[in-house]
Amino acid sequence: MKKYLLVGIALLLASCTTEDTPIEKPAKGYNTKPVIKLVEPSGNFLLVDWANDNMDRGNHDYDTYVHSRLVVDLDYSNVQRGDVIYFNTPEFESENPNLNLEDSQISRVVGLPGETIEIKDGKVFINDRKLDYFYSNVTFFGMEEEEYFAKATHDSKADKERQEDYFSTDMKFLFIPNDSVFVLGDSWWRSSDSRSFGALPMDQIKGKVLGYEKNGSKSTVAITKEFLESNAEIGMTKQGVKGTFGKNHVSDFSSDIWMYDRVKNNYQYEMSLETVAFKDIKDELVHYQLFINFVDGKAFMYSYFYKGDDGKIWEYVVNPDKTITEVVVSN
């Protein structure tokens, strides 16, 4: 009789440990948007510029063109769930042929060594149990499904269906090796993370992101051809361009041409929306100039001027039909 009683108790306990039972008891306020700290850099640290919105929960989170630079602790070793880390980007085959990631990425640690992870209907499960933290459900700029659809308007039925599919994101069961972690961006739809490249080896982690630099200044994005390839969208609104490229240097918000540049050692030159500083680019006093043309308030064409390895001045153009051309414009 005692044997059957023990078996019954075991079965009862097993039935209580279901996938609806959180893997950990969440802290108070677990499902609120996190407060990102202002940090005075000290010790062994790195200041990082970050222009990607893969961590955006509705406040341009971790975006250093809205906030100050990120402080990364390079002595980081005790990896914890929920930590935001800075790491080397693993090599992987992307479904997007135009994807061109930076050498380093920022994401949040969600799965730990030795665990199994799965995403079902937009929710993260660890060891078959639901993970119950603010970062464990799919969101759109910090909004969960109910809030998003209460506020959203859609241009078409197909657009709405795409968003419904997004909120129902699934990922197959994955075992995390003992020397690795599983990372996710807070904004899944804009993130390349462990869903794409699998578990991240620990030795690829550079450090932990502690927060924004206290009393620091916002970043000025260094625009490259690779950055343009990933971010120069035809039809982007001026607000979108400002959010991606930062504040334009020459013209005001209402102008139909914006110009961005980067100069050497605060070099001063005559900026113009009508001419290119060929000589200054040739002499490497101006690293580049980017002109963005707008029509009806939306980006129509991007023209980027830079000095090539051959010493000549090249123009890299994102055309209105979204094709790319690159030609020598000055010797």
User: Tens digits of per-residue pLDDT, 150-203?
Assistant: 988 877 888 889 999 999 999 999 999 999 999 999 999 889 999 999 999 999
- Per-residue pLDDT at 24 exceeds 60: no
Q: What percent of the chain has pLDDT over 90?
A: 54
Mean pLDDT on 229-248? 84
Query: For residue 288, what pLDDT band results from cuts at 50, 70 and 90?
Result: very high
The model's pTM is 0.62
Torsion of CA 140, 146, 150, 152, to 10 degrees: 30
Alpha-carbon distance 109 to 207, whole Å? 12
* Closest of 124, 107, 130, 80 to residue 200, by C-alpha: 107
6-15, 129-138, 162-171, 217-226 — which is least confidently predicted?
Answer: 6-15
- At 140 the three-state DSSP class reads strand
Task: Please tell me the predicted confidence (pLDDT) of residue 221.
Answer: 67
Task: Please tell me the predicted confidence (pLDDT) of residue 17.
Answer: 41
105-119, 150-164, 272-286, 307-321 — which is least confidently predicted?
Answer: 150-164
Task: Please tell me the predicted confidence (pLDDT) of residue 327.
Answer: 96
Alpha-carbon distance 177 to 198, whole Å? 10
- Per-residue pLDDT at 20 exceeds 60: no
Alpha-carbon distance 16 to 52, whole Å? 41
Higher pLDDT, 33 or 84: 84
> Residue for token digits 């509705």?
58
Query: For residue 7, what pLDDT band results from cuts at 50, 70 and 90?
Result: very low
Alpha-carbon distance 116 to 114, whole Å? 7
Task: Please tell me the predicted confidence (pLDDT) of residue 109.
Answer: 97
Alpha-carbon distance 118 to 175, whole Å? 9
What domains does the chain contain, in order, with CATH numbers? 17-213 (2.10.109.10), 225-330 (no CATH)
Q: What does the pLDDT look like over 295-305, one tens digit per residue?
A: 999 999 999 99
Which regions of 66-169 does DSSP assign to beta strands (E)?
70-73, 84-88, 104-111, 116-120, 123-126, 129-130
Q: What does the pLDDT look like over 52-106, one tens digit per residue?
A: 889 999 888 998 877 888 999 999 999 999 999 999 999 888 777 666 677 889 9
